[in-house]
Amino acid sequence: SSPNSISITMGKHCQIVMGPAGSGKSTYCETIQRHCETMKRTAHVLNLDPAADNFNYHPSIDIRDLISLQDVMEELDYGPNGGLVYCMEYLTQNLDWLAEQIDDYSDDYLIIDCPGQIELYTHLPYMKTIAQQLQQWGYQVCGVWCLDSMFITDASRFISGSLMCLSAMIQLE
């Protein structure tokens, strides 16, 4: 076969891409996926944001196939924040669904595009549970924190953004 058709597997590695809403998480995921394709490596993006509507990438796995924020809001009469927390709790209670979904990609690189609700990373256990489960499944997990460039325009914003990142890191530890 020609060198252009060679695909390199990366083993069981994944990035959990976190950060506040609008910080560029989905753009980052798309960029990393394209970079991997350019390098002849297979990478799959997993959408774990049940409220996401539009992507510049095609998610290989989409939480909305399990549960959607709109359905939760309509059926349980929750607001968007409570509905998102419910969706993530539902996912952690149904990790067998996630295991089945990623089973086909066990030798590929996973990029996990997460919701932008800060509570999910700073003081609720759901992302920690997902990260720990991925590790139990044999994945090397890397956390990526995206932050809007506006957070470096003055000292108070920079400290705020840095503390959010530190809080998420400690929670995922």
Closest CA to 146 of 164, 126, 132, 128: 164
Distance CA 25, CA 84 (A): 17
User: Which pLDDT score, from 0 to 100, does residue 104 have?
Assistant: 81
- Tens of pLDDT along the chain (173 residues) come to 445 555 555 568 999 999 998 899 999 999 999 999 999 988 999 999 999 888 889 899 999 999 999 999 999 999 999 999 999 999 999 999 999 999 888 778 999 999 999 888 888 999 999 999 999 999 999 999 999 888 889 999 999 989 999 998 898 88
Cβ atoms of 111 and 41 closer than 8 Å = no
Distance CA 169, CA 122 (A): 8
Distance CA 52, CA 74 (A): 16
Residue 110: strand, helix, or coil: strand
**Alpha helix stretches (DSSP H) within 23-116:** 25-38, 69-76, 80-93, 95-103
User: Which pLDDT score, from 0 to 100, does residue 4 have?
Assistant: 56
Q: How far is CA 112 from CA 15, 20, 33, 68, 76, in A?
A: 6, 15, 11, 17, 27
Closest CA to 122 of 78, 150, 162: 162
Give one word for 11, left, alpha or beta, with left for phi > 0 and alpha for psi -120 to 50. left
Cβ atoms of 139 and 11 closer than 8 Å = no
Cβ atoms of 134 and 99 closer than 8 Å = no
Cβ atoms of 18 and 24 closer than 8 Å = no
